[in-house]
Amino acid sequence: MTPATDWVLRWFHIMAGIMWIGLLYFFNFVNVAAVKEATAAGEAAPISKYVVPRALFFFRWGAVVTWIFGAALLGGYPAPNGMNGFAAAFGLQGTMAPIGFGAWLGTIMLLNVWALIWPNQKKILGFVPATDEQKAKARRIAFLASRTNTMLSIPMIFFMATGPTSMSQFIYH
């Protein structure tokens, strides 16, 4: 990988990651409490109609873009035993193991976004038909998946920062 390619991939990976994790923290630390208060005051409709759908769009696609550019970065690095960096990271091989832990956590989080959070948010927001009972269950599942992602984001960011790329190359190589 050339330095220019590394820079471009890294920049998009980081910017998309800021979008994704920033919105994850917004949903968990700001939106949940705000919607609860707005609902009690009878004023939640504009949040659910205008803010949440737009935020969920950038949230879920931020997750995809982050993962794709992260995978491209990993694939551009040589790894132990002549392996591709992507395979070595996901195989937790040698110096690629720390970033591999982060990559696995990011992958789990991506799957939570698309398999648990988004399908249930579509029910909650009325994008797909759902009974009140189904919406209540969907709220709980989306909430738990989102809180899980919040907790996973902490070690994920740590392991991403300790991987064998950029400044940390001098530590591991």
Query: Looking at residues 149-172, what average pLDDT do you find?
Result: 74
Q: Do residues 28 and 147 make contact, with C-beta atoms less than 8 angstroms apart? A: yes
Instruction: Examine the pLDDT at 168 and tell me if it is beyond 50.
Output: no
Dig out the tokens for 92 from the structure: 């937790």
Percentage of the chain exceeding pLDDT 90: 71
Q: What is the pLDDT of residue 171?
A: 42
Predicted confidence (pLDDT) per residue in 130-139, tens digit: 999 999 999 9
Q: What is the pLDDT of residue 170?
A: 43
Dig out the tokens for 77 from the structure: 């690095």
Predicted confidence (pLDDT) per residue in 81-98, tens digit: 888 999 999 999 988 888
Q: Do residues 52 and 106 make contact, with C-beta atoms less than 8 angstroms apart? A: no
What's the pTM? 0.89
